[in-house]
Structure 1
Amino acid sequence: MEVTDTLALQGENPGLEAFLNKLQPLLDGGRLDNLVDLASLLSDLVDLLDAAMVEKLSVQFEQATALSWNLGNAIRLAKAQTRQETTPPSLYGLLLLLREPQTRRGFALVLRVLNAIGHQD
């Protein structure tokens, strides 16, 4: 017996019957369960998002935004400097870049990041 039949026996309500007839395919296909699960998930998220969690998430978002901004600026600067060169640098020219303090700092940063990733194993 369908849900609409059960409630229709309890009383005549055409609006309720129309609503339940529209819900019946969701019930038959099990898709209403997905909607209930989604509502439950949203309810759990609301319970978890207290002021401290929102603060932590906002700090993480700010740090990720700053990192992507700095990385984007560094890439744009490197592209502009590379476009200004008429010919690609030679191997010796690349090695000369290691004499610049900024290059060594950047290289050290990359090596430290790789070192930190290696320690996480």
Structure 2
Amino acid sequence: MTAKFDFSAVDSPYRCRWPVSVNWPLDGGKVEIRKFDAILQLMTDEDLEAATKDVEQNKTDPDRALVKRYLVGLPDHPDQPELTEAFLKKFLAPPVIVLGLKAAYQEFAGGVAAKN
């Protein structure tokens, strides 16, 4: 698919609804692919600086520190929660969720069509 580039898009943070796949572990060494959509936003230099500060000052896991900067919504969540620090701490506790979001962001930011 091609379209004419919209140069005004660089004036505001770019956001997009993007599919996320999580390989959820099951008994017996199996996994179940669980999917949801997330609203992702391209990170700015300021976001990267804030994530670095979070890692250095709060000893936050680097991947979680980044996810907290580019995850801006969970449209599939039945409660439409506000992405507070407390909610994100609980939601991002399972490493498989962080890995799924990281893979989705890499597709989104790299301009690669989603594999879901």
Same fold (TM over 0.5): no
Name the structure, 1 or 2, with higher relative contact order (CA <8 Å, separation 6+): 2
Structure with bigger helix share is 1
Structure with bigger strand share is 2
Q: What is the TM-score of this pair, normalised by structure 2?
A: 0.26
Q: What is the TM-score of this pair, normalised by structure 1?
A: 0.25
